[in-house]
Amino acid sequence: MCGISGIFEFAQQADFTLPVKAMNAALAHRGPDNDGIFSDAGITLGHRRLSIIDLSAAGNQPMFSADGRYALVFNGEVYNYRELKNELRDVAFQTGSDTEVLLMAWIRWGVACLDKLNGMFAFALWDKTERKLHLVRDRLGVKPLYIFQDNKLFAFASEIRALMASRLFSPQLNTSALGDYLRYQTVHAPATIVRDVRMLMPGHRLEIDASGVQDVTWWQLPDARNTSDQDYASIKKEVRNLLRAAVERRLVSDVPFGAFLSGGIDSSAIVGLMREVSTTPVNTFSVTFDDSEFSEAVYARLIATKFKTTHHEIKLRPADFLNDLPNALLAMDHPSGDGPNTYIVSKATKQAGITMALSGLGGDELFAGYAIFKQAYALQQKKWINRVPRFMRAASGNVLRQLKPGIASDKMAEVLRLNRIGFDTFYPLSRQVLLEEQVQGILSKPIADPGAVETFARIALAKNDATHFLSVVSNAEIQTYMQNVLLRDSDQMSMAHALELRVPFLDYTLVEYALQISDTHKFPHTPKRLLTDALADLLPREIIDRPKMGFTLPWKHWMKNELRSFCETQLQALAKRPEFDAQGIDTLWQAFLKDDKRVTWSRVWPLVVLAHWLKQHDIN
């Protein structure tokens, strides 16, 4: 895991060593082990290395082909590099790194080598002969890649902050993406909160030369229409085999490794499989609290004992978290309503001497672990609801809001007011943080919804038939919340401590298989039933039957007490910006302070984070 950067000038004349050095410096936390630069006429590449495989200097980057034609900077891991090395047995390798295998695979097979890669990656490869730059991002978007382009040059980096450090442009707020952030506590790729900076989409690659930039899709989530089903016993066996292989691939490392363990189904499954395939005891890390309302310690200990792990409990008092919160906010590369939790556990894991850790991220998305799966499925069975006149539906929604005030009732009322109720219109509402009335109430002028989430929902619907509706929801979850909140936060918060996170549930072979399993076998009659049935011999009933908690902290209390002054300072700064309405922001804050059930802490915190981030980075 590393940080990469670079600048390509279309005229291919200037030297951009200084701005790339500035970008490298901004990425130092991602790669403290080495700093590398390559420059040629019109092209400069930068790399910050975090050594995971082949710790010697031979693995430093940029890495060059023997004839000097190719230069490569690479962020991530190719998990099957040993298998590819066997296919390239006639090549005289000079290192033990996966970077060299990737370079030689490109030389041998060209862009076709991408289909052979199993890993998480973002890389740039310069072809000196063709004077062409290739940029590639992995299938599921585990590793980020941000880009900036004008009529003179093209720049890229692993983080937005690195692009801004280049001083190639004056960063400004992307007002067209502001509504997206307010609704969903993030900005959906390819857009970002910074105008003129965008993300390369997952499964995409770019070809850049003097004539311009070509964007090519090299992988996409699979269709699941009328796929032939195996029997349930065969499906369980295949799920287990694929997940076990994904875990085993991710244990290839030349540094100490561990796993995040909450004691939930997903992290417990990963730890159990790690114990099966690892020849050494597994290091596990859990955050614990004195307050049992927030602590999952008893479940994590149960799993640690069962699999004989070397267990580390990160005993966290509210004061500890609050002390680290400023640093967590400073580590944010892109504003988000989430993230500090991962910062805390990553910090403790790194301090314990671990450089690489496995995470259970992705299990909920693949195996219907969120409430939205059942909600959307139930709604899909009630197509008759569109035959009810809209005014009658709206009236019943208003009654619901009065009888049971709260966020859930507000969202249902919004659904019932829709002209047409379907997954593509229901799903965006279900994921909203602030509802439309609240969004427009804190803005100085209306901002239209860019429709990013609705677009992804429609794409998901088009890729699946009625027998795979749960895969429709999975597809939408993967492309929205998972890729644009969970993965982005996990990357920036773990890399703030130079800790590499690996996510076995996002092995593309497992993703492709799971998305083509029909609802008959995947419906969560019990939490993530297919996954727990596939791992029945590993997971104790106490873990399977426990209530879903998630990683929760007493934010409501903090924001009304210890963090109140900080929150008010940030919200006042936001209110002074021309895009926002000061009275609207104050009304929202006062509603939160008065325990209005429609304004929970998670509706206000993303605004605090946004204000802090914009000020920190001097975004006009």
Q: Which residues pair with 477 in a beta bridge?
A: none
How many residues are there in the chain?
620
Q: How far apart are CA 422 and CA 418, in angstroms?
A: 9
d(C-alpha 33, C-alpha 289), whole Å: 34
Q: Return the closest-CA partner of residue 218 out of 201, 234, 231, 232.
A: 201
Report the distance separating Cα 533 and Cα 538, nearest Å: 10
Sign of dihedral through CA atoms 299, 305, 310, 312?
A: positive
* Residue whose C-alpha is closest to residue 289's, from 261, 322, 314, 325: 314
3-class state of residue 394 by DSSP: helix
Question: CB–CB of 277/368 below 8 Å?
Answer: no
Count of CB atoms within 10 A of residue 327's CB? 13
Catalytic positions are 2
Whole-angstrom Cα distance, residue 389 to residue 406? 25
Rounded CA-CA distance 390/290 in Å is 50
Answer whether 528's CB lies under 8 Å from 545's CB. no
Q: How many angstroms separate the CA atoms of 51 and 61, rounded?
A: 11
Q: Is 338 left (phi over 0), alpha (psi -120 to 50) or beta?
A: beta
Encoded tokens for 400: 């619901």
Residue corresponding to tokens 């994921």:
431
Residue with tokens 């850790």: 357
CA–CA separation, 9 vs 15, rounded Å?
A: 9
